[in-house]
A and B are shown apart, each in its own frame.
Chain A
Amino acid sequence: AQKVTQAQTEISVVEKEDVTLDCVYETRDTTYYLFWYKQPPSGELVFLIRRNSFDEQNEISGRYSWNFQKSTSSFNFTITASQVVDSAVYFCALSVRSGGSARQLTFGSGTQLTVLP
């Protein structure tokens, strides 16, 4: 069975601060995929990034960056110079190839990020 842990339930930062959201996952599968989604108050889950288990390269996209470390089973997300518009709930998710479908996502419990002006 798969498990995703987001230990930080809520984080508050002041605008322009950097913030890192933690994600730890568990799976016995060797091929898996990791995701980050953002959920604004409107409810829609907005896709941010996908990472494959065989690609440990870190990634940067504008103010967003992701640090994938298989050795610690972590996939952390950093927002640099946070903005008020970054306020949302952020979910880390995992899917595996075994069992017939790679589209069953196991989500963490989410981290509510509040960026104060």
Chain B
Amino acid sequence: EIVMTQSPLSLPVAPGEPASISCRSSQSLLHSNGYIYLDWFLQKPGQSPHLLIYLGSNRASGVPDRFSGSGSGTIFTLNISRVGAEDVGTYYCMQALQTPYIFGQGTRLEIK
């Protein structure tokens, strides 16, 4: 089973400032087809999660371009170029290379 480790677990950010969340996997998420099977989700308070980034770096439909995903192999990053109040919530990475799919512990982003 692949282990997913996120950091930090709590992230206070001032409005308009950038934010970065790291996710590490215990084995490479690079498939032989060349795709990286790493997704990012945001769960806003009181809501269902929603998909932000799929296959490592592809923004899901409707996701603002201030969100970006990067990384390769076992180390991945979600970047938010300018944090706004609407970005508050818990961010999760998830490996989808093999079952069981595994989520990271979550990173709680709050506004300073």
Asked if A and B bind, the verdict is no
Contact surface of A with B, Cβ cutoff 8 Å: none
Interface residue ranges, B against A (CB under 8 Å): none
